[in-house]
Chains A and B, each alone.
Chain A
Amino acid sequence: MITETDMSDRSGAGILPRYELNGAYDEMFSAPDHPRKQYRPLHNLLLNLGPDELRRSKNEADQSFFNQGITFTVYGNEKGTERIFPHDLLPRIITAAEWEKIERGLTQRITALNLFLKDVYHEGKIIEDGVVPGSIVYTCKHYRREMRGVKVPADVYITVVGTDLIRNPDGNFVVLEDNLRVPSGVSYMLTSRRVMKQIFPGLFQKCHVRPIEQYSQVLLSTLRSLAPEGRSEPTVVLLTPGSYNSAYFEHTYLARQMGIELVEGRDLVVHDNIVYMRTTFGLQRVDVIYRRIDDDYLDPLVFENGSALGAVGLFNAYRAGNVAFANALGTGVADDKAIYAFVPKIIRYYLDQDPILEGVETFLMSDPGQRDHVCQRLDEYVVKAVGESGGYGMLIGPHSTEQERSEFRQKIYAQPRNYIAQPTINLSTAPCFVDGIIEPRHVDLRPYILYGEKITIVPGGLTRVALRRGSLVVNSSQGGGSKDTWVLQS
């Protein structure tokens, strides 16, 4: 725990002096030695702390994560070595005004994307009207033909969303990616807050941080709102691929927080299009499935053959309206990176509004003109495979070698529909405690959006950090870490 009394008069010994601004928007400093208003209490604290106190707190936090089992398993090791998710001590602070805009912008965006999903799986008006080309929609890797004409509960396709935002050098938040399938990471947001309260109680009191602890209750009531009609006390379950999945900790954590059963595919039985789980009391009907399994593995009858993760007959039960999935199937069509380029148009088309949050300029490699433009300047662009996530299948132009670029050029020409390009964006930086001093590292922000009877965004999110100096890749699978995110009351 760090409190005021810890602050001996060691000012000057400091851990901040080597903090260098590199042209990106810095979350803490507007200019060298000029902290932004919302960071002043933290800055004051840091001026008076030595590396030993911070290191001690860091160990305390790490130990707390380890003991709670907030770990992921390192694969390929029979002993099941478990590591904690890298975590940085210093909070990332967002002002009330900034958050208000994020909240409005995300609500608008998610509302429009949900309408888009309903449209493409029913009438397809947006395609008919020529706003989004059918050639792109129907070639999306995650477009699910089987979902045509399927009525989903309350017309909500995307119940749980984690949208990745980044901050431009000019300080504006822009949307980098929509994650509309099975976004993860929310357990890190929740557990890191608990640890931070133990470590910085004084800072919390000073800063008036908005709470996020209600997430699990909101998630549960959101899930219950999807229950088939007439099921007044619906049974909600969380469907996990099992204990070998890297997000298994999160699945157990959320199930325990919500007080619902954590089921695997082999626990489920479908009979007469009704889903049951095997319990010691006999079969019990299941109404809502918060599934943390990809579409492809849900039902071996309909999708990937031979998958043992789902259960036979789930999709028919779903189509019959006897069980709800969160998220619905086929939502990946709306977070395809080529569709992303059309989101501003999608928002205008359905809502007749200008987008509140901008996206990043995106070039479609399926368009010959845009493709030639980008391929001549690959060293300036980030190239992404459209159906991938987690930072896989990506070329970061300025950090690439000539050989990597020529490989990507070949891939792009071979499968143009599979790639998009965006200008390299200098993500904003935030102070991180690395190797005994505080240095800037690039960060993004993933707020979690819950879409039930209304849209709720818990004030905060997962701030992901590229822990390697200069790196722009924040994904946990690529050496990223996280920070607690504080949204201020006023």
Chain B
Amino acid sequence: MLSRVADSLYWMSRYFERADNASRVLKATYGLILNPAKFSTEERWFRAVSSLAPGSASNNVDPQRILFSLVADPEGAFSIVKCISGARENARQVREEISSEMWEHLNRLFHDVTGSELQPDDDAGAMRVVTLVREGSYRFNGITAATMNHDEAWHFIQLGKYMERACNLCVLLDAYFVVGKHADDLDWVGLLSSCAAFEAYCKACTAELKPERIANFLLLKPEFPYSVRYSMDRMHDALTAIGNLSLSRRTENVERLVGRMRSMVTYVQIGEIIAGLHKYLATIIEQCRELHAAVHELYIEYPIEVAFQN
């Protein structure tokens, strides 16, 4: 497969997952702020902002504009609409690689979310976009799984999706466990809903909301699709499959990086990491970055000299 095509598929998938993540977090946060807060509504918004638009968050969150800027702001680099446009733009570059059903669905979703000129104070309108993306994303994942060959292209799509998911989860956990200092039961429900995890958590751990147990569930649970562990296992699967297809490539470095990263969530117990959670999460994010760079150098932007040596 062309390197450029693999790169576009990977980024299509990452942007889509980013939009999907934002829609989950915003839906949960919007539900939360409608309840009276023990501390302040601003803090709840602040958590959402710091997890969705890292770097741009300041302590002065303007609750009137925040929803708009995270959903539809054409200036905001992290808004849902921007992410959907990014996903579609990448898909457009590789239309001959993805199935027509995928393209049609993504195209329609793009037209739906960009179609209405959203005003900054229109919360209901913004939430309609969030809902469109929620539903659209489950459908897109289903269509993708059902309509294309599970070949190299599919593995790059999986890699992008779970790379993005693992990073998003770490940032979100950091926002709840480290950045936001006050959390009550409602906030923990908010965190779980942000990961589509509330029902799954209750099934596995009952409705008793213990922060340590929640962290364990979202970080280390291998069976839950929105956990860091699950995401890393899938990244590992995708990279192994891609490596097996291209036997001529020197994959040692990528294998080493994905293995090291995976061991971070495979062989630990929550008690060992909960005290130093911020540092632990930062290490995982850093390792994701390294892995991304290594994959890029191996499959996408490899130096020509290296290619001729092989």
* A interface residue numbers (CB < 8 A to B): 67-69, 79, 242-243, 252-253, 255-256, 261-264, 266-267, 269, 271, 277-283
Contact = CB atoms under 8 A, between A and B. Distances in A.
Contacts of B95: 69, 243, 252
B269 interface: no
Contacts of B299: 280
B6 A280 contact: yes
Contacts, number: 61
B90 to A, nearest CB: 10
B268 interface: no
Contact of A280 (B93, B107, B242, B304): B242
How many chain B residues sit at the interface, stated as a range, is: 20 to 34
Nearest to A278: B3
B116 to A, nearest CB: 12
A279 B310 contact: no
Most buried by B among A264, A278, A280: A280
Contact of B307 (A255, A256, A282): A282
B245 interface: yes
B1 A282 contact: no
A252 B152 contact: no
Contacts of B302: 278, 282
B49 to A, nearest CB: 26
Main secondary structure of the interface of A (DSSP, over half): mixed
B93 A267 contact: no
Given A79-B114, A267-B2, A283 B96 contact: no
12 contacts: A67-B104, A69-B100, A243-B92, A253-B96, A261-B2, A263-B2, A278-B2, A278-B307, A280-B1, A280-B3, A281-B1, A281-B246
Nearest to A69: B103
Nearest to A81: B111
A281 B96 contact: no
B260 interface: no
A282 B249 contact: yes
Contacts of B2: 261, 263, 267, 277-280
Interface string B1-14: 11110100000000
Contact of A262 (B96, B100, B103): B96
Contacts of A79: 114
Contacts of A243: 92-93, 95
B39 interface: no
Contact of B308 (A255, A266, A283): A283
Contacts of A277: 2
